[in-house]
Amino acid sequence: MNHPILDKYWKIIIYLSVWLLFSYIYFWFVQNNSQLEFDLALLDSFLTSFMQASIYIGIWYVIKYNRIEEKTSPNLIISVILLGFTLIFFWVFIVHFSIILLIGKNTIYNDYFWSNIWNKALIGLVIYLFMLLFYYLLIYYQNFKENVIRKNQLSLKLQEQELANLKAQINPHFLFNSLNSISYLIYSDAENAHKAIVKLSDYFRYSLSSTKHQFITLEQELENTFRYLEIEKIRFEDKMKIKTQIEKECKKIQVPILILQPIIENAIKHGVYESTELVTIYVKATKFDDYIIISIKNNFDIDAKKQKGTGLGLENVKQRLELLYKRNDLLRITKEQDSFTVELFIPF
């Protein structure tokens, strides 16, 4: 966010006009309530206004980079008090010493200063609180606008993800192979055929209703992911093996919905589909500091003919993480000689 006053000429003019008005009011007050001469009262009023106008232009940067949204209430209150005390002390005495440097020692002004020091401090406190409120309201308003924009972007991204899922999964090829496997099981293993139909139904029901939420527990996300894996396992029973290691405390952590789907699809497409040997998909979730690390790893046949992918699945995951958490370091991809690993770092 740019400086809310210095970014437009008309704002600067209004800001200076307000301080000129304050200077005039302050000058009138000093003239009618002190023994200061006209020139001295005018100088005191001008320096008082000029110093404060300069200070409150600069204080914006202190408030902006102090990131109030990351502070607890007690810390915020302490910061506000310390900042206010420092500014008021600096302003009162810098004006005093500036006038002394310009006019030299003056008994009348010195008596006026010390007799009115608390009045000046009170005026400074009122202006400080007003400017603080003004700046904080601007920050909260800007954050609100950014959150609205981010939510709209997330909503669009989630819709794109759902469409990508439907395009990748609800297609004749996927349905044909799944139903073909189920039809075979009807004659050879009716019980497993029934289970496969239920899993297929649950899988599509979950995918179609996914846009209702932005987040879901890792446990729920994994349940649907495993439904998809078990459906695929009907087709590739001898080629695919699934191993999991999910720490118990990770299961209730909220994760972006459908965040694992593109990664699992990638593992099956470039691992299981292309391999003539057994492919093991490892799904692991562990806690580390303020994150859960979700790791999906699969081996692949280095001699198999590689299918050219679009790369949209992992790119979609990366973009969603950036939008949700404002960070671009939450996705890590590692490719070794015969294995491919994708790690997600999900903040609590």
Q: Are residues 106 and 181 in the same domain?
A: no
| CA-closest candidate to residue 181, choices 134, 234, 113 | 234
User: How much is the pTM?
Assistant: 0.53
What are the pLDDT digits (tens) for 156-183?
A: 777 666 555 544 544 455 566 667 777 8
Residue 97, domain member (yes or no): yes
Residue 51, amino acid: M
Q: Are 227 and 206 in contact (CB under 8 A)?
A: yes
Residue 165, domain member (yes or no): no
CA distance 52 to 92: 10
Q: Are residues 191 and 261 in the same domain?
A: yes
CA distance 63 to 3: 11
Strand pairing report for 339-347 and 254-256: unpaired
Tally of structural domains, the chain: 2
What are the pLDDT digits (tens) for 12-45?
A: 898 889 889 988 888 888 888 877 888 888 888 8
Residue 29, amino acid: F
Q: Are residues 186 and 305 in the same domain?
A: yes
Residue 322, domain member (yes or no): yes
Q: Are residues 115 and 203 in the same domain?
A: no
Q: Are residues 26 and 134 in the same domain?
A: yes
Q: What CATH number did the domain enclosing 301 receive? A: 3.30.565.10
What are the pLDDT digits (tens) for 38-80?
A: 888 888 888 888 888 888 888 887 777 766 555 566 776 777 7
Q: Are residues 104 and 212 in the same domain?
A: no
Domain span at residue 319 reads: 170-347
Tokens describing residue 33:
């309530």
Q: What is the DSSP code (8-state) at residue 106? A: -
Q: Are residues 191 and 321 in the same domain?
A: yes
Q: N- to C-terminal Cα distance for the chain?
A: 27
Residue 158, domain member (yes or no): no
